[in-house]
Amino acid sequence: GQNIDQPTEMTATEGAIVQINCTYQTSGFNGLFWYQQHAGEAPTFLSYNVLDGLEEKGRFSSFLSRSKGYSYLLLKELQMKDSASYLCAREDDKIIFGKGTRLHILP
Amino acid sequence: DAGITQSPRHKVTETGTPVTLRCHQTENHRYMYWYRQDPGHGLRLIHYSYGVKDTDKGEVSDGYSVSRSKTEDFLLTLESATSSQTSVYFCAISESTRDRGGRWPVNQPQHFGDGTRLSIL
């Protein structure tokens, strides 16, 4: 995706915490989405941040810094079912997706 | 789950043939989108619609056309398919909470269909 960077792959251990970072171009920025996509399935919505700060939803939290063009998705108490790709998507007058971060969970 | 149905789910066809993919929604959402997803590229927007007969191009629109004659249906057509159009195609819908001159909605996430796997030989 243009102007959006996130790591290609990450590995973490069941029960641990992992942080997936996303950086983006700040001009015209309106908001930042995170989606989860399991292999062979459709993306599903996780979170949307428009203001600076941390938004918590159960085991998942998402953080945004508008001035730095930076967001992260924090996953706590990792479970095997969290093995998936995580897509960062930047909204201005359209929505542009990053290439996604494939997260592998080890037992 | 949002009521989105894509058809067909799988298709294999030959280069040069026309192909039409259908997206049907039962949510009465205003906005509908077509994406393609390829390894190394992520999700890329092809075309989108912000109402009946109102469509616009996305970032990879060349070789594709769309039509929306009813709120519930959004069709994607490959007039003459090429091997580079082999991909997984996703339809998405979203609700509008603010009308910014007929452009993108805000604060409303997109809900995706299950995808169409298209192979062009």
How far apart CA B47 and CA B58 sit, in angstroms, is 5
Do residues A36 and A43 make contact, with C-beta atoms less than 8 angstroms apart?
yes
Q: How far is B70 from chain A (nearest CA, A)?
A: 22
Set of chain A residues whose Cβ sits within 8 Å of the Cβ of B2: none
Residue B103 has pLDDT above 90, yes or no: no
* In chain A, % of residues over pLDDT 70: 98
Distance from CA of A33 to the nearest CA of B (A): 8
Cis peptide before A43 (omega within 30 of 0): no
Which among B44, B106, B112 is the nearest to A30, CB-wise?
B106
Give tens-digit pLDDT for B5-35. Answer: 999 999 999 999 999 999 999 999 999 999 9
Facing A45 at nearest CB: one of B45, B109, B115:
B109
Mutate to test the interface with B, among A6, A44, A87, A97 (most CBs of B within 10 A): A97
Instruction: Read off the pLDDT of residues B26-66 as tens digits, 9 standing for 90 and up.
Output: 999 999 999 999 988 889 999 999 899 999 999 899 999 99
Q: How far is CA B48 from CA A50, A92, A100, B38, in A?
A: 23, 15, 21, 19
Residue pLDDT, tens place only, A14-60: 999 999 999 998 887 888 999 999 999 999 999 999 899 999 999 99
